[in-house]
Amino acid sequence: MYPNLYYVFKELFGVKWQWLQIFNMFGLMVAVAFIAAAIVISKELQRKELGLLSPREEMITVGKPASVWDLVINGLVGFIFGYKLFGVIFSKTADITAQEYIFSKQGNILGGLVLAVLLAGLKYWDADKHKLKEPERRSVRIWPHDRVGDIIVLGLIFGILGAKLLMHLKTGIALLQIRLELFFRLQALHFMEV
């Protein structure tokens, strides 16, 4: 298997695009697997809803403007992703890998600010588009296939935690001795024996 997309494009098309080195094949295949799992789970739940599964009624409030908290959270997430993403694309030096760069304090402040403003603006625009004069509470049906995103995120979180714990068990490090810097090592996601 190729280590990253750079080598795939170099082999197949003969081009040497350095920016493709940030896309590791292992991570790309994991992302494709999660997308495929979401599609399959959604289709299967929709099929089972024809008689076996029923929706759940929930009360939601519609028509509220975007709260300051929503805008701050979206701006913060946008800044973190922009800071690292634009940094890895435009500011990374050749002597450091993309993973090391992402886990470092380095980044691109302008890229972070641009994505922060963009995500906060999109949240504000979306809430403003659905805003009513008087917010109202409505009862909506939530079907099981509407929860696929939650299922996938839980699978991602517990998959990473499980991989980390199994790596520590296989390498002989006692669970009580696990320190945070060991827990956040890059190698722990794909432990392979030599």
CA angle 173, 175, 178 (to 5 degrees): 75
Domains of the chain by residue range = 56-142
- What is the residue-level pLDDT of the chain in tens, covering all 194 positions? 788 888 999 999 999 988 788 788 888 888 999 999 999 999 999 999 888 888 999 998 888 999 999 999 999 999 999 999 898 888 877 788 777 888 888 999 999 999 999 999 999 999 999 888 899 999 999 999 999 999 999 998 998 888 877 877 777 665 555 565 565 665 555 544 43
- The rounded percent of the chain whose pLDDT value lies above 70 is 88
pTM: 0.67
Candidates 160, 154, 157; CA nearest to 189 is: 160
- Dump pLDDT digits (tens) for 95-119: 887 778 888 889 999 999 999 999 9
Q: State the Rg of the chain over Cα.
A: 22
Please tell me whether residue 14 adopts helix, strand or coil conformation.
Answer: coil
DSSP state of 128: H
